[in-house]
Amino acid sequence: MRTKSLLLNLLIVITATLPLPNFAEPISVADVVKPTAFEHLAPAPKQAKEPLSEASKQWLEEVVLYIITAREKEVFLSLPTELDRGQFIETFWKKRDPNPETPENEFKLEYYRRIALANKFFGVGGIPGWRTDRGRFYILLGPPKEIERDLNPSTSVLTISQGPRETWQYWGLPNPSLPYNLELTFVDKFGTGNYVLDQTLNMAQGRKEVLDPSTLTFQFDYLETISEAMKNPFENMEKLKGIITTQVTYNLIPFQYGTFSFKGLDKKTLVPLILAIPYSSIPSKRSEFDYFFSLNLTVNVSNSLGQVVFEASKDFNFKKTATELAGLLDTSFQFQTSFSLEPGDYRLHLLILDNYTGKVGTSHEPVSIPDFSASSPAMSEIILFKVDAQAERSPEEEKEDLKDAVLCANTERIFRTGDEMGVFFEAYNLRLDEATGKNKVRAEYAFIQADKIIARIPVPSIESSVQTDCGMRTSLRLKNFQPGNYVLRAAVTDDNSGKSAVKEIPFSIVAPR
């Protein structure tokens, strides 16, 4: 981008959280050339149109390229003199000023600020950041709520296109022409660091379509403060990977996590990963009555030879009001991601980074990935979660058992007397009856304390289906349980084959408040 006065404007940083401005009508010639301003002049002969100066050309082609309307551009190019163009530019910004009573034009300042941040984060190979796909969407939509990076796509079954990829997730954008949940995927197809828009997903309807940036309008976002904490993955990933590979434990940000194993695609195992960080341990930035948070999760999986088989990074940006945060200080912020691995033994390395303070928390633990491809019955890991007895689940929600259970997973596995404990797992490799073509499976639960079975709970017969794999979900009321440590044993019996599978999971019960 050319220098001159634009570079001075690019250094402007605002800190206030701004409301969505009301966009005015496009500028017309009458808005710029007012007859009353020239009444004292005698009529003059028609003059030749002055060519665009470098400053005017730069303003049109580089400064406001993403926000000027087609009609405004047409008017600007039709103006006869540089004086008229200067008046047009002044009017252009005034019509977008969300608060004309203040001396600053918040819209203009924020727009220049986003250009500067786009240049900082996304510029690559001589291409200024504002000209890249990521830069353009960052300028128009602001920072995403979540950024997920797949840096090792050759080992991920989730990768469709070759090359590293970034997935940006937005929700609740104040633009009626956009879906509430919007997901953008950018791919570095040639390994140059320039990520190109690959696909757009309307998460509410599951449609994949290319989003035309020309249909977007610039808008303020409630999480503008978080943009200061965003990191260019090619600036910080080496540092993060260095911390992980040293395998030294850092506990500046305490967290708990749980991994679960489920049957995946192509004989691989899907591994959802759930992390929980106490709100009281997460640094934040305060802006008036809001608290902003920005965390990075980096996952690294290595095999028995120390070779990295999976590596990914994901950003989580969110805010809480002061009232919301006061009610959450005794709880944890929970987030999840997932990856797929071949069966075998690995080491899982996790790093949580606070983007504001640089504080980190790490974990380095072995993890064993089971093989679900055998012909005999098998069970996934068991997920425990607290059930809201007042909530009713729709048929659509019932179909999303795995996703719902993972999102609700109680990683601490601590419940209170009287809680209703939800249980979810999947059963695999069920035999189908030759006559009916359906499975026939039943389950039983047992509570164990101090190696003794204290209760057995059979569940109603499970409806037969034509599936060889099925999900099982139930809830168990912990009404008469005293505080202490327990083990839940779940057993599945395939009546068509006469074979069974068993899984156990420990949990604790504490006294009610």
> At a CB cut-off of 8 Å and minimum separation 6, what does 448 contact?
454, 486, 487, 488, 489, 504
Burial of 26 (0-12, 13-18, 19+ CB in 10 A): middle
The SS3 of residue 404 is helix
The secondary structure of 432-459 as a DSSP string is PPTTT----EEEEEEEEETTEEEEEEE-
Q: Which residues pair with 361 in a beta bridge?
A: 251, 352
Q: Which residues contact 342 (CB under 8 A, 6 or more apart)?
A: 267, 268, 269, 309, 369
Closest to 315 in 3D by CA, of 293, 285, 294: 294
* Residue 360 within a domain: no
Token pair in block for residue 459: 């569940």
Q: How far apart are CA 356 and CA 285, in angstroms?
A: 8
Q: Are 509 and 483 in contact (CB under 8 A)?
A: yes
In this structure, what CATH number is given to the domain that contains residue 427? Answer: 2.70.50.60
Same domain (yes/no): 195, 69: no
Residue 298: closest CA among 184, 491, 193, 148:
148
**508 domain residue, yes or no:** yes
Q: Does residue 195 share a domain with residue 185?
A: yes
pLDDT of residue 245: 66
Three-state DSSP class for 507? strand
Burial of 458 (0-12, 13-18, 19+ CB in 10 A): exposed
Residue 476 belongs to a domain: yes
- Which string of DSSP letters, residue by residue, matches 282-349? S--EEETTEEEEEEEEEEEEE-TTS-EEEEEEEEEEEEEEHHHHHTTTTSEEEEEEEEEE-SEEEEEE
Q: Residue 190 has which token pair?
A: 């040639």
Residue 86: φ, ψ to 5°: -65, -40
- Both 113 and 103 in a single domain? no
pLDDT computed for residue 36 by the predictor: 38
State whether 96 and 144 are in the same domain. no
Does residue 383 lie in a domain region?
Answer: yes
What is the tally of structural domains in the chain? Answer: 3
Residues 60 and 135 in one domain: no
User: 310 in a domain, yes or no?
Assistant: no
Phi, psi for 122 (deg, rounded to 5): -120, 0
Looking at the fold, whether 387 and 510 belong to one and the same domain comes out as: yes
Report yes or no on 317 lying in a domain. Answer: no
Q: Identify any residues that bridge with 166 across adjacent strands, giving them in sequence order.
A: 149, 186
The answer to whether position 185 is within a domain reads: yes
Quote the pLDDT of residue 392.
54
Q: Which of 163, 194, 229 is the last residue of a domain?
A: 229
- Residue from 442, 437, 444 nearest 465 by CA: 437
pLDDT along the chain (513 residues), means of 10: 37 32 44 43 60 92 89 93 93 88 85 86 88 90 82 50 80 73 86 84 60 65 49 54 68 88 88 91 83 87 87 83 89 86 92 84 91 89 81 47 76 90 93 92 94 87 88 89 95 93 95 83
Among 229, 255, 282, residue at a domain's last position: 229
Same domain, 411 and 485: yes
Beta strands 308-321 and 262-263, pairing class: unpaired
- pLDDT of res. 78: 93
Looking at the fold, whether 398 and 501 belong to one and the same domain comes out as: yes
Q: Are 357 and 228 in contact (CB under 8 A)?
A: no
For residue 95, tell me if it sits in a domain.
yes
Cβ neighbours of residue 53 under 8 Å, at least 6 residues apart? 82, 85
Burial of 8 (0-12, 13-18, 19+ CB in 10 A): exposed
Same domain, 457 and 481: yes
Same domain, 185 and 86: no
Residue 88: domain span: 5-108
pLDDT at 298: 87
Specify whether 432 is located in the same domain as 384. Answer: yes
- In terms of domains, do 135 and 50 share one? no
Q: Count Cβ neighbours within 10 Å for each residue of 292-317 and write b for 16 or more, e otherwise.
A: bbbbbbbbbbbeeeeebbbbbbbbbb
pLDDT score of 217: 65
From 79, 108, 137, the end of a domain falls on 108
How far is residue 27 CA from its own chain's centroid?
38
**What per-residue confidence (pLDDT) applies to 159?**
41
**Whole-number Å distance between alpha carbons of 325 and 321:** 6
Determine the Cα angle at 449 with ends 446 and 450, to 5°: 135
Find out whether 258 and 409 touch, Cβ atoms under 8 Å.
Answer: yes
Beta strand 181-187 pairing with 165-171: antiparallel
Would you tell me the crossing angle of helices 70-78 and 82-94 to the nearest 10 degrees?
A: 150
